[in-house]
Structure formats: structure tokens, C-alpha cells
């Protein structure tokens, strides 16, 4: 999959390609990551990318032309039919389902805004989707674009190794993760749950699933609402709550 990010801070964005899972995917040529700086698409001597807002008020707005030219350049490098996504708190909220949908694409252009954002007219002419990481404000779209890329790349076929991708067991989908433990068996007087030391794989799978259900119920009831639990899941959750109260 090919990613192109439009950003005034290209070095900030390229760091995601230097570490971990995304770094490995880049090295193995499972993805490409390119960056277009609107400043390289200015034509005035001052290389101006921002200007004062019409109507007045504080802050600056990213100018139409340099951003439009940067998007055009990015699209020119990618296959036909790669959508252009603008990151902002006004967008549709990003989630795992959206990450999955994006993995079907040959590529993605992500626009990282700065200042008060981009000239509104870019939405009609150049932008296909507006996406938000959640209800908070960042000083730039770069970190949001990097998060979206990370979430997509780890879902691409062949990116995670066999042991890493166990975390994608489909029956855990839509739930919070279960607790994890590693050596030593006792730390600060706290023991690893016996079941995890039992070697009974079926019991361990069941325990983890029950924990995932229970944690989701307690911390994110909105997630469970969406899942419509069947009888067996209801029973496991009831067991969790009973054990919790003991
Ligand atoms: C995205 C971008 C928040 C998000 C942003 C978010 N803030 N919640 N700030 O995903 C326009 C200029 C948007 C700064 C950008």
C-alpha cells in the first residue's frame, strides 16, 4: 500500500518509517511512504503557505494553492482511485472498522493541516473524506496521520509475524484486550492468575475471552452494546461479574 502525506513538517512524518512495525513494512517494501510539503509548491519568493483569515480573528489559514498543488503531486505518484483524507476534529471518528476498510485501497493521501486549518474550498475540490481521531484538538494533523497509517499498516497481509497477529483473533473483535502477564510469577506480592500457568489451553482461551468481555462491560459498555452478545457470551460475562464480586 502506498501512503503520501501532505505536511509542512515532512521530517516529523517520516519518523514513523524508522521504527517498529511500520519501519519493517517499509524496509520489506510492503508499503511506501512519501511526503509532499506545500512549501515546495509555492511560487512567491517568501514561499508563503499561510495567510490571515477572511472575516478576521486569531490565527492563520493554510492557503488553497500550495495545498492543492501538493495534493495533485501526491495523487500523481499514486495509482488511480486513491482517496484524499483530511485529518481534523470535524471528521468521521476513526476506528478499527475504518482502518480495515482502508487496507483494501491501493494507497491513501493524508492531509496534515497546521494553524487554524486549510482553506474550506479544498474540501469540495480536493478532499474525499474528513477523519478525526476523537474529540480533542492537536496543533497539527501530522500525529493523527501517523496514527492512521500505523493502524492500517499493522493490518496489511504479511506485515505482522504469526505470533504478533494472534492479537487479531476474530472472536476478540470489538472487545477490549484481556490482561497480559510475563515473568516473574510473583511481583510486588502479586501473582499471575493460576489458569495462565495451568497449561490448559482451552481454559486459558476461555479465561481471556471472559476477561475481555468483563473489561469491555466495565470500561466501555458502548462497545458491548454494538456486539449484541449471544447466550454463551452473556453467561461468560455473568461469570466474570460474579468472580469480580467475590
Ligand atoms: C486532527 C487534527 C485534531 C485532530 C487536528 C483529531 N486536531 N482529533 N488539528 O484527529 C487543523 C489544523 C487540524 C490542526 C489540525
pLDDT digits (tens, 9 = 90+) for 118-164: 999 999 999 999 999 999 999 999 999 999 999 999 999 999 999 88
User: Is any atom of ligand 1 closer than 6 Å to the C-beta of 144?
Assistant: yes
> Torsion-angle region of residue 187: left (phi > 0), alpha (psi -120 to 50) or beta?
beta
**CA atoms within a 13 Å half-sphere pointing along the CA-CB vector of 143:** 8
Q: Do 65 and 145 have their domain in common?
A: yes
Ligand 1 touching residue 137 (CB < 6 A): yes
What's the pLDDT tens digit per position in 194-217? Answer: 999 999 999 999 999 999 999 999
Dihedral angle of Cα 13, 17, 18, 21, to the nearest 10 degrees: 130
Predicted TM-score (pTM) above 0.85: yes
Range(s) of the domain holding residue 181: 170-245
Instruction: Report the CATH number that the domain containing residue 215 is assigned in CATH.
Output: 1.10.1270.20
Q: Is 120 in the pocket of ligand 1 (CB under 6 A)?
A: no
Q: Specify whether the CB–CB gap between 102 and 92 falls below 8 A.
A: no
Q: How many angstroms separate the CA atoms of 135 and 179, rounded?
A: 27
CA of 1 to the centre of ligand 1 (A): 24
210 lines ligand 1 (CB under 6 A): no
Q: CATH code at 28?
A: 3.40.1280.10
* Catalytic residue numbers, as ranges: 89, 116, 154, 169
pLDDT in tens, 157-167: 999 999 888 66
Q: How many angstroms separate the CA atoms of 246 and 238, rounded?
A: 13
Please tell me the total count of domains within the chain.
2
Q: Which atom of ligand 1 is nearest to the CA of 131?
A: 10
Amino acid at each position: 500500500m502506498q501512503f503520501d502525506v501532505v505536511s509542512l513538517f515532512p521530517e516529523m512524518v517520516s519518523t514513523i518509517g524508522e521504527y517498529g512495525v511500520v519501519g519493517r513494512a517499509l524496509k520489506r517494501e510492503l508499503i511506501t511512504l512519501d511526503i509532499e510539503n506545500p512549501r515546495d509548491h509555492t511560487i512567491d519568493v517568501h514561499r508563503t503557505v499561510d495567510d490571515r483569515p477572511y472575516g478576521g480573528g486569531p490565527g492563520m489559514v493554510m492557503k488553497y494553492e500550495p495545498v492543492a498543488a501538493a495534493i495533485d503531486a501526491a495523487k500523481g505518484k499514486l495509482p488511480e482511485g486513491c482517496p484524499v483524507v483530511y485529518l481534523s476534529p470535524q471528521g468521521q471518528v476513526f476506528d478499527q472498522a475504518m482502518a480495515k476498510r482502508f487496507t483494501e485501497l491501493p494507497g491513501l493521501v493524508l492531509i496534515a493541516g497546521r494553524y487554524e486549518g486549510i482553506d474550506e474550498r479544498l474540501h469540495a475540490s480536493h478532499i474525499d473524506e474528513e477523519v478525526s481521531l476523537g474529540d480533542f484538538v492537536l496543533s497539527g494533523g501530522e500525529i493523527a496521520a501517523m496514527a492512521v497509517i500505523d493502524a492500517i499498516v499493522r493490518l496489511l497481509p504479511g506485515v505482522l509475524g504469526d505470533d504478533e497477529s494472534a492479537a487479531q483473533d476474530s472472536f476478540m473483535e470489538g472487545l477490549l484486550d484481556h490482561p497480559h502477564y510475563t515473568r516473574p510469577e510473583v511481583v510486588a506480592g502479586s501473582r499471575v492468575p493460576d489458569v495462565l500457568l495451568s497449561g490448559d489451553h482451552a481454559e486459558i482461551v476461555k479465561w481471556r475471552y471472559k476477561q475481555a468481555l468483563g473489561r469491555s462491560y466495565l470500561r466501555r459498555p458502548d462497545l458491548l452494546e454494538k456486539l449484541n452478545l449471544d447466550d454463551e457470551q452473556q453467561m461468560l460475562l455473568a461469570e466474570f461479574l460474579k468472580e469480580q464480586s467475590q
